[in-house]
Structure 1
Amino acid sequence: MASQARAPDRGVARRQAFLQAAREVFLEQGYEAASVNDVVRRAGGSLATLYAQFGNKEGLFLAVTQDQHERFIRDITPDSVDHLQLEAGLQAIGEHYVRALLMPENLAFFRIVVGEGRKFPEHLQRYIYTGAERVRAVIARFLEARGAQIDDHEMAASYLLELWRSRHHYRALADDAYRVTDRELSEHVGAAVCFFMRAAKPK
């Protein structure tokens, strides 16, 4: 029984080792230049095992981006804000979201996925939009719970997301050296929340 229990664990560990090594290789070299042989050299194991688990380089890339996307979703999903009032809650959600957007690894993967979008259009759409949908739903529920006087909470949440990401995210994508201090991030989020609050007041 013990040996049977250990076998799946080894398989999971090997898969995670491949994913981590592939993440590093894709980030360093991009999709086209990346070699599965480099992945195997870093992760250990064999090329046959990699192909058995992922099929080919494309399958490995899709698995890596899916894994990275799940990490991103965890990064941008804030802790509970149920105890906060409207303005403070939006500030907390916004800082959490923008900080995750600007993480170097998230920026790097965003660039790679967009760059390879023609090869994997469905994967690109899922990668880009699912994260925003998750945060949009959190904001919409929070606005409704706090009695924000807005006809469409989902639409209002979409506008707020664009206010948050518009200044720093696009600049960071274009300039690898672009950095934002914690104070700048907080002030940017706060300015967007302040602008938003003029139209969204609790009942």
Structure 2
Amino acid sequence: MNEDLAQIEMTRCDYPQTKRGYERRLALLISANDLFLERGYDAVSLDDIVNHAGGSKASIYKYFGNKEGLFTSICDYRRDLFFKDVCIPFNPVQNELRPYLITTLITFYKHMIMPENIAFIRLIFERSQKDPQLALYIHEKGPKQVQLAIAKALESCAGKQLLKCDNPLYSAQFYFGILRNLEWRILMGIHIQETDQEIFDCVSYCVDRFLDGHQKV
């Protein structure tokens, strides 16, 4: 494991073994999430979080270690919510690749335009400038995992001679580039003028061109 990632993993503290402990941990996590989004990371203290959620700072130290560990846990929590239905496992026997690829991008886009997700991604960008380890951790646990899921789907189809894909990971990175223009516009606060149908038509067109490039010669 990369030493930076290992360092972050090592900071993990006790995970609750009781329902009450789990509820306390979750309350602290959600309260910190709300306060960070409202005020920004640097403007929120551990006392603010405890006053908002109830309990004591001892629980923060027990479950998260410190403020940085708490923020990392929030990133994990929000990542799981964001990606849980973005890239479902692909089964070449049950799924067709084209609708699978289109649905994945449309679902990703719908998550991206949620105001709270936009705000949190901006917060991550701000924090990652000050904490390179966090930036690497988030990339490895988030975007890279989704790229690997798509790469695995492409590799599976290539193995069944359904398409030609010599480097599935490169192709997966190229595939997610379909949304790059929309992502940047969303994060920069530029109004998306296209209708949902226009977004769908654009994504469908790009996926078709993507698949054209992977046809067997």
Query: Is 1:150 aligned to 2:161, yes or no?
Result: no
Aligned-residue CA RMSD in angstroms? 2.6
Pick the aligned partner of 1:196 from 190, 210, 213. 210
Residue 3 of structure 1 corresponds to none
Query: How do 1:2-81 residues align onto structure 2 when only pairs under 5 Å count?
Result: 8-78=18-88, 80=90
Measure, in 2, the Cα distance between the counterparts of 1:11 and 1:61: 19
- Indicate if the aligned counterparts of 1:94 and 1:189 stay in contact, CA closer than 8 A: yes
After TM superposition, where is structure 1 displaced by more than 4 Å over at least 4 residues in a row? 176-181
Q: Deviations over 1:162-185 (max 9, x none)?
A: 12x212111111107657643233
Pick the aligned partner of 1:138 from 149, 157, 165. 149
TM-score when scaled to structure 2?
0.78
- Indicate if the aligned counterparts of 2:31 and 2:49 stay in contact, CA closer than 8 A: yes
Q: Deviations over 1:113-152 (max 9, x none)?
A: 1111133212112213432222222222322333212222
Measure, in 2, the Cα distance between the counterparts of 1:180 and 1:191: 15
Q: Which amino acid aligns with 2:61?
A: Y
> How many residues in Structure 1 have an aligned counterpart in Structure 2?
197
Measure, in 2, the Cα distance between the counterparts of 1:180 and 1:51: 46
> What's the % identity of the aligned pairs?
30
**Post-superposition offset of 1:159:** 0.5
Measure, in 2, the Cα distance between the counterparts of 1:124 and 1:139: 22
Unaligned runs of 5+ in 1: 1-5
- Indicate if the aligned counterparts of 1:78 and 1:96 stay in contact, CA closer than 8 A: no
Measure, in 2, the Cα distance between the counterparts of 1:202 and 1:138: 22
Unaligned runs of 5+ in 2: 1-15
**Post-superposition offset of 1:154:** 1.7
TM-score when scaled to structure 1?
0.83
The structure with the greater share of residues assigned to helix is 1
